[in-house]
Amino acid sequence: MNTLQRNRYFTPAIHILIWGLLLAVPAILTSGVSFKTGLPAHFFLFSNFYHIGLFYFNAYYLYPKLLNRKFWWLYFPAIAAVIAISWFLKLFFIRLADPGFVCNEFNCRIIFFGALPFLVASFIFRLVVNRIQNEKMKKEAEAERLASELKFLRSQVSPHFLFNMMANMVALARQKSDLLEPALIKLSGLLRYMLYETDSEKFTLSRELEYLESYIELQQLRFGEGVELQLQKELDEKAGECSIEPMLLLPFVENAFKHGIGLVQNPFIKIILRVGDAGLFFSVSNNYSRDNFSKDKNSGIGLLNVRNRLKLLYPGKYALDVRDNGEIYTAELNLDLSC
C-alpha cells in the first residue's frame, strides 16, 4: 500500500476508532447496572448511531453550506429544525417498537436533548478542521509565493552575471588580447555550471568554491598584474559536505571587480573564506574610487539579490555586514550552513 492510499484510509480509520471508543465506554460502564427510563431496549445504541449521522450531516453539509457570509442566519433555524425533526423521528420509531410507550418528563428530556452534544461537538469539529485547512492553505500559498520569488531572484543572477562577463570579453577583444580564447573557454564552463547544474535547491560548497575560483581566474586573465588579489581559505574536513544556495558568494566578488578596478591607484581585492563548526565566514574587501561607480540602473542588483535570497533561505541564520569608509568597501557574511 503506497503513501497516498495510507493517507486516504487514515482519517476514516481514526473516526471509526474514536466513535467505537465513545460508544463502547458507556456500554461497558453501565453493563449490569439497572435503571428504568421507560425507553425500549437498545434505544441508546441505535439513537447514538443516529446522532453520529447528525454529527456528519452538520459538519459536512449544514455548516459549509449555510454558515457563511450570505446564508449564515439560516444556519441556526436549520439546527433548530434538525432537533425538532429528530424529536418526532425518535418518538415515531420508539412507538413502532413499543406501542405502549409513555413519554414522561425524564425520558422526554433524553429523547429531545440527546442530539445536542453531538451537534455542538460537530460545530467545534468543523471550526477546528476549517482552521487547520486555512492554516495549511496559507502555508502552501506562502511556500508557493516564496518559491516563485526565489525562482525570480535566481533568474536575475544569470543575466546579471552574463552582462558583466560580456563586458570583460569586449574589453579583451578591443585589446586584441591572446587571452580572449582561453577566457571564452573558461566562460563556457562557468555558463554550463550556471545554466545546467544550479537548478537544485542547495549545492555542495566544494562545487560552489570551484566555480568561484574559476570566476576569479577568468577576471585575472583580463586584469593580469593590474590588481593585487589575495585569496585566503580555511576549510575544515567537513566543508565539502556542506550545502549552500547556488551562486550566493559570487556577487560579492563581482561587485569588488566591478567597482574596485579602474580609476583606482594600486587596486586590491582581498577575499577571506573560512568554514568550520561556527559555519561559513566570507569577507570581500576592495578599495575604490567614487568616480568609478556605474550609473547604470542595474548597478547593485547583485548584492540586493543576495540580501533577498538570504532573507528567504536563511532567516535567522545569517549576518551580513557591509562597511564603506569612502575608500574601502567591505562585505562580510556569516552563515549557518547545513553540513
Task: Among 93, 111, 138, identify where a domain stops.
Answer: 138
Average pLDDT (211-229) is: 78
Average pLDDT (227-242) is: 80
Q: Counting Cβ atoms within 10 Å, is residue 330 exposed (0-12), middle (13-18) or buried (19+)?
A: middle
Would the pLDDT of 33 be above 60?
Answer: no
Kindly state whether residue 144 falls inside one of the protein's structural domains.
no
What is the DSSP pairing of strand 268-276 with strand 243-244? Answer: unpaired
Q: What is the pLDDT of residue 150?
A: 62
Domain that holds residue 24: 3-138
Task: Among 138, 163, 187, identify where a domain stops.
Answer: 138
User: Pick the residue with more confidence: 40 or 338?
Assistant: 40
Spatial CA neighbour of 282 closest among 238, 231, 227: 231
The verdict on 127 and 161 lying in the same domain is no
How many domains are there within the chain? 2
Q: Please, which pLDDT band fits residue 87 given cuts at 50, 70 and 90? A: confident
Do residues 260 and 329 touch, judged by C-beta distance below 8 A?
yes
The verdict on 52 and 164 lying in the same domain is no
Residue 241 corresponds to which cell in the numbers above? Answer: 559536505
Q: Counting Cβ atoms within 10 Å, is residue 273 exposed (0-12), middle (13-18) or buried (19+)?
A: buried
Which residues are 334's β-sheet partners? 281, 319
The verdict on 121 and 202 lying in the same domain is no
Radius of gyration of the chain (CA): 36
pLDDT digits (tens, 9 = 90+) for 253-304: 888 887 767 667 788 889 999 888 778 899 999 888 776 555 444 455 677 8
User: Pick the residue with more confidence: 54 or 21?
Assistant: 54
pLDDT digits (tens, 9 = 90+) for 244-263: 888 788 888 888 887 767 66
